[in-house]
Homo-oligomer: A and B are copies of this chain.
């Protein structure tokens, strides 16, 4: 069966997350139903990084096996036609060899977390950013972030529900940048633990507002206890931006 690689964008707001679940619409479910309409039989779509409810993607990658060959553009256009009115779009489809696996072939994931840092609430970016009214010092946040770079046991930043075999991960990128009222935190690694990015962001926010020193991040990491780190940042600021193969 021909395998297609899909580049997918979605607004995570109305979904229970990427993964099919009985309690609501999922991105996976929308794509599977849309592609089933194209080929007249059930299909299964697998992605590189399962995102939680409310988390967005502009560069999710998925693959699907279809019962016969279509042009890549026909797959993209049919998926977009049948996905309406759900906020999911296939930006690109391409035929790939059947040893390509969206999840297991991936060697890098990149996320961005956006914080709108101003007194006035978010309006044009509602559900697209974490609104933080208190002023954040991005230099201090970057200092704190630097303690997390490299290979560590990230137990302190791992959700209780995390199913990864090991809490040891190598964090390649954790850049904190301000552009006017918007703060973007770019994170890159081969893979992440469940809630890792949001837990790191929730912790760096404490540093940015001066409740923690940058060095407290190092202490929290070393503690290897979820209770030692900061709270989980809300989902609406998080975007899966790209997957590397």
| A residues adjacent to B (C-beta < 8 A) | 9-11, 56, 58, 73, 76-77, 80, 84, 87-91, 118-124, 126, 128
CB distance from A21 to the nearest CB of B (A): 21
Contact (Cβ within 8 A) A91 B118 = yes
Q: CB distance B11 to A89 under 8 Å? A: no
A181 to chain B, nearest CB (A): 9
Contact sample, A vs B, 29 pairs, CB 8 Å cutoff: A9-B120, A9-B123, A9-B124, A10-B123, A11-B123, A11-B124, A11-B126, A56-B124, A58-B124, A73-B119, A76-B119, A76-B120, A77-B119, A80-B119, A80-B120, A80-B121, A84-B121, A87-B123, A87-B124, A87-B126, A88-B123, A89-B120, A89-B121, A89-B122, A89-B123, A90-B120, A91-B118, A91-B120, A124-B128
- Name the residue of chain B whose CB is nearest to the CB of A87: B123
Task: Beyond the given A10-B124, A84-B121, A89-B121, please list 20 additional residue pairs across the A-B interface where CB-CB is below 8 A.
Answer: A9-B120, A9-B123, A10-B123, A11-B124, A11-B126, A56-B124, A73-B119, A76-B120, A77-B119, A80-B120, A80-B121, A87-B123, A87-B124, A87-B126, A88-B123, A89-B122, A89-B123, A90-B120, A91-B118, A91-B120
